[in-house]
Structure 1
């Protein structure tokens, strides 16, 4: 849904004198923080529009991952002899599919955010990173809203739930950092190279199977397990599953995920800042 179509918050219509690029790199996060209310308004508006215009509303946040979990559960437990994941496998699947849905949806939408919101990007006096941050946070809220469903299935299948469930907090933070970095990197590039949007979609399809969503890193035979461990999503998904499968966490993977996520955020923000002027000429 495009912000320019339905009820854009009035605070965003304070036009600047020109569509010049924002502040210097070091000041950009501070400028974004100062406009946090505008970000909150956009996120709230997105969620209201998405749920109010749908008969199923909130259920759409979990319907797709639930259907996928059901399919993979049937294939790996009823059709084939499963040798991956952990029991209860349906909980294992949901604990991987729900954060993956956040990552996939946010990367796709963030990559096209500047192009989709071109009119507002040019005319509103807010840091242009807002349009990427808005997407990441909106999808993140949807992820948080889906957690009660995960907990419900964990209780139904009597999965062990303990204090490791609190590791969902650093998992969500790392996912937000990783996704924001990817979004800031891709958003200006997609404006300049339109075919890149298709490449992103294809890469995400491949990335699903290159990430431990339906299996664990330990299920991958050597030496390929080392390659899968390098995926920054590996440590994040292990943290997401820690509350139900404490033995799944390998802290080396988590440390690598944190390092890659922070690095990608710095790279993404740098690329965004350097390409901003060029992007404004193209949109």
Structure 2
């Protein structure tokens, strides 16, 4: 069978069914990394987010008394964490995808894109786990205080929009950095600290309104502020992002995505040419 060679700057998608089948395979391998060769096994998957959220809630909501409006800080933190950890884990495995699956790419020109697409599996798993924890916590407050705090309705459309923006950002950064991480491991180590710092600059632990006025611009012009505030506003009824935040998020994504796509495609083609 004769096939038309891929165009110069087009990563090979292949048949849609094959693409998603491979993505699911890669995604399952990323999830296994969390519990493989451990004594507790699958228990680590729900245990890690529970321990993480309890530690952050105790430190920031308890010891530091970060304000959260008319709702418990634990609920405020959990809803913000749904979006962040969906984004964080998807980004992590997006840029680690080629390095993690290097055995599959050593001698056969396998398309790279399914490995990046599969990163949504551990990302979605993290988002779902934090959402389930939030439901349990809100159920507890419904019984003890008479309020569920989270509302599911027409406003939830904003939450979906926020998650979509975070997914696009995660994949874009994965396309941008995965070829670099594949050959320069130091990039992965540096990115770990970059994203930790980015987390502190994104209104997950606090709201933009509680930041001192002279520092608010840092959060307002953070491209991830709008998606996070869309999620929180859609589920908790907190203020939606300002127009400046939304414009910043969309413009940065629109400018970065085609650059990342083209660089990823060029790196894939060059690597396959050397096989």
Which TM-score applies when normalising by structure 2?
0.79
Q: For the residues of structure 2 that align with 1:241 and 1:56, how far apart are their CA atoms? A: 32
The answer as to whether partners of 1:188 and 1:279 remain within 8 angstroms in 2 is: no
Matches within 5 A, 1:9-28: 23-25=7-9, 27-28=10-11
Mean Cα displacement is larger for which, 41-50 or 201-210? 41-50
1:190 aligns with 2:181: yes
Q: Does the CA-based 8 Å contact 1:95-1:237 persist in structure 2? A: no
RMSD value over aligned CA atoms? 3.3
Residue 90 of structure 1 and its aligned partner are, at CA, apart by 0.5
1:47 Cα deviation (Å)? 4.8
Q: 1:46 to 1:75 in 2, by over 3 A?
A: closer
- Say which of 77, 88, 92 aligns to 1:108: 92
Matches within 5 A, 1:123-162: 123-124=107-108, 126-157=110-141, 158-162=148-152
The alignment covers a number of residue pairs equal to 263
Q: How big is the shift at 1:113?
A: 1.8
Distance across 1 between alignment mates of 2:212 and 2:30 = 43
Q: Give me the whole-angstrom Cα distance separating, in 1, the residues matched to 2:12 and 2:71.
A: 42
- 1:51-66 equivalence runs, <5 A: 55=40, 57=42, 60-66=44-50
Specify whether residues 121 and 262 from structure 1 end up closer, same or farther in structure 2 by C-alpha distance, changes over 3 A only.
farther
2:266 matched to which residue of 1?
Answer: 274
In structure 2, relative to structure 1, the CA distance for the partners of 1:269 and 1:218 (3 Å cut) is: same
Q: Compared with structure 1, are the counterparts of its residues 116 and 73 closer, same or farther at alpha carbon in structure 2 (3 Å cutoff)?
A: closer
Q: Measured at CA, do residues 282 and 60 of structure 1 come closer, stay the same or move farther in structure 2, by a change above 3 Å? A: farther
Cα drift, residue 123 of structure 1: 4.5
State the TM-score, normalized to the length of structure 1.
0.77
Going from structure 1 to structure 2, the CA distance change for 1:177 and 1:81 (only over 3 Å counts) comes to closer
Find 1:241's aligned residue among 221, 224, 232. 232
Distance 2:103 2:53 in 1: 39
How do 1:186-265 residues align onto structure 2 when only pairs under 5 Å count? 186-252=177-243, 253-265=245-257
